[in-house]
Amino acid sequence: MDSQSTAPRPTTSVKLVLLGEAAVGKSSLVLRFVSNEFQENKEPTIGAAFLTQKCSLANKTIKFEIWDTAGQERFASLAPMYYRNAQSALVVYDITKPNSFIKARHWVNELKAQASPGIIIALVGNKLDLVEEDTNNTSSSNDADHEDDETEHSDNVEDTTNAITEDASDSDSDVETQSARCVALQEGEKLAAEEGLLFFETSAKTGLNVRDVFLAIANKIPDEASKRRGNGLLAGSGHNGDSDANGLPNHDGRISLDASNANGTGACAC
């Protein structure tokens, strides 16, 4: 795959898990990242799907081992199995669904409490296309939304087990406001800043910012070489710095509508 490159770049395997409420677009983000495709009305994931994808950066190759988990309540108890050994996580919400943001907050808390201490978490507000379409042309996004609403309904009432108390207040507005933005950019940014997360708003449908999320994670992963150099010494933490500066979008996770951004530092291998 990398035969054209001069020297074989070291390959680092990175376990990544996607978490988030049902129907926020986790599988669609993965499908966009892995196959650069989008499917309307994708069927809900059952259990979890496992995929791998290589990603070539300037100085290394990252092999993502991705757990795409189902968002339905009944699978919640299985989540630890998927994030237990993960080095990175995408916590996904739907920017038109306030409940999904609350759920995202819970996933972040759970990861902070239960996952490996060094886990790199990216908070991802998906379905940016719905909001953009809304300003230009209000009619076209209805199909996707209906489906979401159904799932949403079933999830609204679910939280006796997860004890989300804020839920009730949100469920009303949720149904009425179809495709308008319900979670402000600033809310996502604020949560990300508080918890030290990467933050992106994306559209799996248009592909906007999707690669950037994975690239940002890839660039935050300490490479094998630095790990090895770090062996025996304290931590080798100094090396992590370069890759950060190297690959992270320079706008602090703010959304750039400039698509050229996606072809930035390292394009994906396939």
Partner 1 sequence: MDGLTHRPTQNPDHSVPPLETGLNDIDISYDSGSEHDDNLDEDTSNLEVFLSQEKHFFILSTAGKPIYSLHGDDNMIMSYMGVLLTIISFFQGQSHDTDNSDQLRSFTAGNSLFVASYEDPLILVAISKRGESEQQLRNQIDVLYTQILSTLTKSQISRVFKGRTNFDLRRLLGGTEKFLTALTREICKGSPPILLSALECAKLPRTIREKITTILLSHKSPSLLYGLVVSDSRLVSVIRPRKHSLHPPDLLLLFNMIFHTTAFRDGEEHWVPICLPKFNSTGFLYAHIFQFSKNSVLVLISADKDAFFELRTVKDNILKSLRRDNLIKPIELAVNNGFSFRTIDIPVPHIRHFLYKSKLDVQFIMPNIEPHFFPTTSSRKALMGYYHKLHAMVHAKNGGKLKMVYFTKGSATFFGCDSPTFELYFATGPDTTKAILTLSVRAILAWVSKNKERLFIMGGGVF
Q: Which of residues 123-152 bind partner 1 (CB under 8 A)?
A: 151
Distance CA 73, CA 87 (A): 24
Distance CA 2, CA 39 (A): 29
Count CB neighbours of 83 within 10 A.
24
As measured in angstroms, the least distance from the Cβ of 93 to partner 1 is 17
Residue of the chain from 133, 158, 174, 189 that contacts partner 1 (CB under 8 A)? 158
Whether the CB-CB separation of 195 and 108 falls below 8 Å is answered with yes
The 8-class DSSP code of residue 144 comes to: H
Residue of the chain from 157, 168, 259, 267 that contacts partner 1 (CB under 8 A)? 157
Answer positive or negative: Cα dihedral of 153, 127, 36, 106: negative
As measured in angstroms, the least distance from the Cβ of 33 to partner 1 is 13
Rank residues 161 and 169 by Cβ distance to partner 1 and give the closer one. 161
Rank residues 69 and 243 by Cβ distance to partner 1 and give the closer one. 69
Residue 268, beta-bridge partner list: 55
Q: Give me 268's structure tokens.
A: 């994906």
Q: Which of residues 73-112 bind partner 1 (CB under 8 A)?
A: 73-75, 78, 81
Nearest in space to 148 (alpha carbons), one of 243, 22, 255: 22
Residue 163 engages partner 1 in binding (rule: CB under 8 A): no
Residue of the chain from 5, 44, 140, 238 that contacts partner 1 (CB under 8 A)? 44
Residue 36 engages partner 1 in binding (rule: CB under 8 A): no
Residue 164 engages partner 1 in binding (rule: CB under 8 A): no
Residue of the chain from 6, 7, 40, 46 that contacts partner 1 (CB under 8 A)? 46
